[in-house]
């Protein structure tokens, strides 16, 4: 699973912590998702997409090689 969080976050000039606080997860979680260490849960994905006013598909790109 790829994602465009880092780019979208930069556009808004938000820190990882800003984003984390806005959606109610830890800063480490945002860092891990951005660095693609693991995939977010579906609710977390919805919250991230919602905050950026994008669809999930615009933020996350599924690849068949995903777990």
Partner DNA sequence: TTTTTTTGTAAAGCTTACTTGACATTTAAA
Partner DNA sequence: TTTAAATGTCAAGTAAGCTTTACAAAAAAA
How many residues would you count in the chain?
A: 67
Question: Which one-letter DSSP state was computed for residue 13?
Answer: T
Q: Which of residues 4-63 bind a copy of itself (CB under 8 A)?
A: 39-43, 45-47, 50, 55-57, 60, 62
Closer to a copy of itself by Cβ: residue 19 or 40? 40
Q: Minimum distance between the CB of residue 43 and a copy of itself, rounded to whole angstroms? A: 5
Place of tokens 């780019």: 7
Q: Is 41 in the site for DNA (CB under 7 A)?
A: yes
* Number of Cβ atoms within 10 Å of the Cβ of 33: 24
Contact 49, 55 (CB under 8 A): yes
Residues that bind a copy of itself (CB under 8 A): 1, 39-43, 45-47, 50, 55-57, 60, 62, 66-67
């Amino acid at each position: 699973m790829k994602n465009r969080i880092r780019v979208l976050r930069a556009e808004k000039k938000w820190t990882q912590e800003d984003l984390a606080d806005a959606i109610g997860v830890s800063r480490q979680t945002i860092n891990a998702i951005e660095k693609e260490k693991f995939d977010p849960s579906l609710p977390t994905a919805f919250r991230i997409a919602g905050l950026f006013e994008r669809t999930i598909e615009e933020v996350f790109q599924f690849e068949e090689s995903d777990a």
